[in-house]
Amino acid sequence: MKTELVSGSHSDFVSNDSKRMKGHGKKCLIILLICLLVVVISLLIALLVGLRRQHEWTEIQNANSRIHHNRPSHTVPECMLLLGSTDRHLDLAKCVLDSYPLIDGHNDLSWQFLNNVNNKVYGSIDFSTDIREVWNTTKTNFPSHTDIPRLRQGKVGAQ
């Protein structure tokens, strides 16, 4: 076997490696400094935005306190303050229903129109009557729990 000697000394190889490492180290340092600068700028922006929002929130709270200065922190309908009859719970329920609309999401009335008159709403019945009597729903598989007079009596605002 023939062994060839490579020209150059060991110190030449080490110095070339150290030059490459120094160049690589400078690039890493520059990238690290740029990342650090981006993070610092981002934190400053976030801090300024947060301070601005807090300032706006404080202004809103101050404006609200000036507007509602003479009002109590919570309001109730006047009828709730005047309850004095013998059936206090019924009066309270009526007061709440008069003050706040009740919306019933379960609509039996449209189901009755579908089953009894094939969705022909206009002219099919008199809306001021009790549907249980008109369609005789008490004896069917689809009893009616809803009609206009009972909705009004129960103070349902929408259905």
On the question of pLDDT at 152 being above 70, the answer is yes
156 — phi, psi (to 5°)? -80, 125
Average pLDDT, the chain: 73
Predicted local distance difference test score (pLDDT) of residue 65: 63
> Residue 149 and residue 118: Cα distance in Å, rounded?
22
Predicted local distance difference test score (pLDDT) of residue 9: 56
CA distance between the termini of the chain: 100
pTM for this one? 0.39
Predicted local distance difference test score (pLDDT) of residue 141: 66
For the stretch 27-60, pLDDT in tens is: 888 999 999 999 999 999 888 888 777 777 677 6
- Token representation of residue 125: 């019945």
